[in-house]
């Protein structure tokens, strides 16, 4: 795998950095096609879709836990979120931890991600809840179970 960074400051802003990154990525795809002679559409759609990131805490690429605050009531909602890129556009789908439970919401997000990307699974159970989620669960009297 080849990685390259594009500095907003050096390239004159976010738009210029994004354009430079896209141009570089497209060139890398052309090189891969020339070398292998085949097009891997998953690579073309989202080159980083299957790359594990050290910041990933869910154990599955493209699946994360997120929080949303209801501006009218001030209630915080926690949910597992699956992100995928389809035709160059980011799509997200979420599952409420309150409604489905910690493990089931994670399983639904992972199943959706696997179905949409053909991504292989590296783990079979969700990670331990972090401190922020544990505080949220205690405040909302929600039992978090990984089993």
Each residue's pLDDT tens digit, 18-44:
888 888 877 776 665 555 454 444 444
pLDDT of residue 95: 94
Average pLDDT over residues 53-82: 80
pLDDT of residue 138: 86
Between 59 and 62, the more confident residue is 62
Using the 8-state DSSP alphabet, how is residue 124 labeled?
Answer: S
Between 42 and 69, the more confident residue is 69
Res. 145: pLDDT tops 60 = yes
Q: Where are the beta strands (DSSP E) in the chain?
A: 63-69, 76-86, 89-96
Q: Can you tell me the distance from the alpha carbon of 77 to that of 99, in angstroms, rounded to the nearest whole number?
A: 10
Residue-wise pLDDT for 84-137, tens only, equals 887 778 888 999 998 998 889 999 998 888 888 877 776 677 878 878 888 888
Between 63 and 144, the more confident residue is 63
What does residue 66 show for φ and ψ, rounded to 5 degrees? Answer: -140, 165
Q: Can you tell me the distance from the alpha carbon of 58 to that of 122, in angstroms, rounded to the nearest whole number?
A: 11
pLDDT of residue 93: 92
Res. 50: pLDDT tops 50 = no
pLDDT of residue 94: 93
pLDDT of residue 49: 45
pLDDT of residue 146: 52
Q: How far is CA 63 from the centre of its chain?
A: 4
């Amino acid at each position: 795998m080849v990685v390259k960074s594009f500095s907003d400051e050096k390239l004159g802003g976010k738009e210029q950095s994004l354009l430079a990154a896209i141009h570089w990525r497209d060139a890398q795809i052309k090189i891969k096609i020339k070398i292998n002679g085949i097009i891997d559409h998953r690579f073309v759609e989202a080159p980083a879709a299957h790359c594990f990131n050290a910041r990933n805490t869910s154990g599955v690429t493209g699946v994360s836990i997120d929080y949303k605050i209801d501006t009218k009531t001030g209630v915080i909602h926690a949910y597992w979120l699956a992100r995928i890129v389809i035709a160059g556009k980011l799509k997200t789908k979420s599952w409420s931890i309150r409604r489905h439970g910690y493990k089931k919401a994670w399983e639904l997000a992972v199943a959706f991600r696997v179905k949409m990307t053909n991504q292989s699974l590296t783990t079979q159970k969700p990670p331990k809840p972090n401190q922020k989620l544990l505080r949220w669960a205690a405040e909302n009297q929600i039992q978090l179970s990984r089993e």
